[in-house]
Amino acid sequence: MAVTVSVPTILRTHTGGEKSVEASGANVAELIEDLESRHSGIKSRLVTDGSLHRFVNVYVNDEDVRFAGGLEAAVNDGDNVTILPAVAGGVR
Amino acid sequence: MLWIRRDLVDAMVEHARRDHPDEACGVIAGPMGTDRPERFVEMVNAERSPTFYRFDSAEQLKVWREMDAADEEPVVIYHSHTATEAYPSRTDISYASEPGAHYVLLSTRDPESDELRSYRIADGEVTEEPVEVVEHYMFSHTGADDIPDSP
């Protein structure tokens, strides 16, 4: 079960500079566990208190998983997963 | 120091004024490693709010893929404040995740005067930097850039 994961610049310190890594899992949560086992420290940048961190967007193929079940979103062999930093802010 | 073409500054100001009283946001892409803002990309503020902005996630994926394919990076990430000064808020700082980008803040609080400032934001530290507005970029070391970008 290989899934290609695109890693943003800010997280490449965890992947030895690689912008794309392989991982496996049946859903986003499993995928992140698998990533963590190979790239220590990456999980805490993506997940807080059992849900996806608000500072990141995770996409399975073209779909933002926030609108597709979050960490429970299904991942299939051959999918492309993209992680991007959320770009946001506010006056406070 | 942010070196930026006047037409790009004008485009950011125009966008911020047009979306006022909501916050406006976008990026200016440039060739990887050059620190040279070139391609203006106005983004939708998915929050459509006077006090908050967020790039629409689907649009962001599309724009980030285009940059990746063109070997570009977000050189400038801009947004506007509509009632406060052009200085990053605590929320702006907590979201800032491109240490190589120039974070440009505009304020539209005064209809008569434009306020535009630029910052580096890394590890929660904000450093203001000077903004040098130029008519065009001149780089004598590469062929294509011998020709000015704007007339």
B145 falls within a domain: no
Q: How confident is the model at residue A57 (pLDDT cuts 50, 70, 90)?
A: very high
> Is B28 within a domain?
yes
Tokens of A2: 């290989």
User: In this structure, is residue B105 part of a structural domain?
Assistant: yes
Please report the pLDDT score of residue B138 as a whole number: 77
Residue A70 lies in a domain: yes
Domain count, chain B: 1
Spatial separation of the C-alpha atoms in residues B94 and B87, rounded to whole Å: 14
Task: Identify whether A39 is part of a domain.
Answer: yes
- Relative to beta strand A20-23, strand A47-48 is unpaired
In a domain, A92, yes or no: no
Chain B residues close to A66, C-beta within 8 Å: 57
Domain count, chain A: 1
A55 vs B contacts (CB less than 8 Å):
94-95, 97
Is residue A91 one of the residues assigned to a domain? Answer: no
Please give the residue range of the domain that contains residue B110.
Answer: 2-137
Question: Residue B5 above 60 pLDDT?
Answer: yes
Contacts of B108 in chain A (CB under 8 A): none
- Report which of A64, A9, A60 is spatially closest to residue A31, judged by C-alpha positions: A60
| Rounded CA separation B123/B101 (Å) | 13
Report if residue B146 sits inside a domain: no
**Residue B144 counted as domain residue:** no
CATH of the domain at B89: 3.40.140.10
Contact B91 A87 (CB under 8 A): no
List the structure tokens of B126.
């904000």
- Mean pLDDT (whole number) for B65-81: 96
pLDDT at B141: 45
Decide if A3 contacts A24 (C-beta within 8 A): yes
Is B95 an interface residue toward A (CB < 8 Å)?
Answer: yes
Per the structure block, which two tokens stand in for B143? 């062929």
State the residue range of the domain holding A47: 3-85
- Tell me what pLDDT residue B147 has: 52
- Where residue A23 sits, what CATH number does that domain have? 3.10.20.30
- Would residue B41 count as lying in a domain? yes
Residue A39: closest CA among A58, A65, A12 = A12
Question: Is residue B143 predicted with pLDDT exceeding 90?
Answer: no
Q: Is residue A90 part of a domain?
A: no
Look at residue A53 and tell me if it is in a domain. Answer: yes
